[in-house]
Amino acid sequence: MAQAINHDITELGRARILLSGGTTPAPVYQALAELDVHWDRVEVSLADERWLSPQDRDSNAWLVRENLLTRAEGAHFDPLVRIGKPLPECVYTANLQAQHSQAPSLVALGMGNDGHTASLFPGSRDLQRALESTLPYAALDATGCPGANQWPLRITLTPRGLGQCRQRLLLLRGKQKLQVLRQALDSNDPQQYPILNAINLDGARLRVHWAD
């Protein structure tokens, strides 16, 4: 990750990275913050977010701030949810920001036991619309989707947004996640296993980093 960031800083003067929440990436972000990176030239944003205040401890913004930004001095953070703004306005702002920023150096993704990545949940009423979107971000209602838990309203990267990232990383931990990934590859059904929408994109291949 640091190599991709430093490459774009050298070549373009700045770098932009998109990060995910969850328990798996937290130690990765802590380690990344300690590496030799000109953080004052890095913009950090998110692959997806729950419809929560960025100050809420259950938000992805809080996790990234706590594990990376408190250590990566000078990095600029651009959360997806704006306090006091309705969800459609937050999605509009996220798309506007993405369209006026350089392409992300990388996106760090996770995957749930249901095969979702970012907030592309199988069974969501909005999944097909998000998969077909021509914009990098979309709103998604995951009501009834077990993987969304008690936070069904989301902002998520779409396949269009994933495809704009120069590098795509998938961080997995545990044998169950590895088994789900294998099931997804065997099924070749991107509706049942939305992780396939990150795998089957043109451009740079999805790089999988797995730990037992």
**Which domains, ranges and CATH numbers included, belong to the chain?**
2-211 (3.40.50.1360)
**Cα–Cα dist 99/151, whole Å:** 27
pLDDT of residue 145: 97
57: which residues sit within 8 A by CB, 6+ positions away? none
Q: Running DSSP on this structure, what letter comes out for residue 170?
A: E
Q: pTM higher than 0.95, yes or no? A: yes
Q: What is the pLDDT of residue 75?
A: 98
**Mean pLDDT, the chain, whole residue set:** 96
- For 105-118, write each residue's pLDDT tens digit: 999 999 999 999 99
Q: Where are the alpha helices (DSSP H) in the chain?
A: 2-12, 26-33, 60-64, 87-99, 127-132, 159-163, 175-187, 196-199
pLDDT band of 204, cuts 50, 70, 90: confident
Give which of 157, 151, 158 is closest to 51, Cα–Cα.
151
pLDDT digits (tens, 9 = 90+) for 108-167: 999 999 999 999 999 999 999 999 999 999 999 999 999 999 999 999 999 999 999 999
